[in-house]
Amino acid sequence: MMALRKDEIEITYYRSRGPGGQHRNVTDSAVRVRHLPTGIVVTATASRSQLRNRQAALRELERRLRLRAQRRKPRLRTRPTSASQERRIEAKKHRATIKRGRGISELE
């Protein structure tokens, strides 16, 4: 697990919405965690417990930061094979002969 610095995150609590009964309607159990350097915002409202929501939000923030830090492998440029080049050229020649045959013939 990555260590998140407390001065880099901002945690706010608010009243979550949705089903959950009277207890959920009167407690500020939803958690919003904002990573200040990157601006990533994560919210957690699944549980009626503020502690569990905070832990879930911090885990999700760490996961997103890990994904952001990963370097993508550069795409390797590949050349088309000589056989595929020949097939494409043959297809173009065939299409050209079909189109040439569409013109008005000189006999008419």
- Which of 67, 47, 69 is closest to 56 using CA atoms? 47
Claim: this prediction has a pTM higher than 0.75: no
Domain ranges of the chain: 6-69
Over residues 36-81, the pLDDT tens digits come to 999 999 999 988 889 999 999 999 999 999 999 998 889 898 999 9
From the list 63, 48, 47, 46, the residue with the least C-alpha distance to 2 is: 63
Residue 29 contacts by C-beta under 8 Å, 6 or more apart in sequence?
Answer: 13, 15, 16, 45, 47, 48, 49, 50, 53
Under 8 Å between Cβ of 64 and 4: no
Residue matched to tokens 């911090």: 58
Predicted confidence (pLDDT) at residue 21 exceeds the cutoff of 90: no
Q: pLDDT per residue over 29-38, tens digit each?
A: 899 999 999 9
Name the CATH topology of 6-69.
Double Stranded RNA Binding Domain (3.30.160)
The answer, yes or no, to whether residue 25 has pLDDT greater than 80, is no
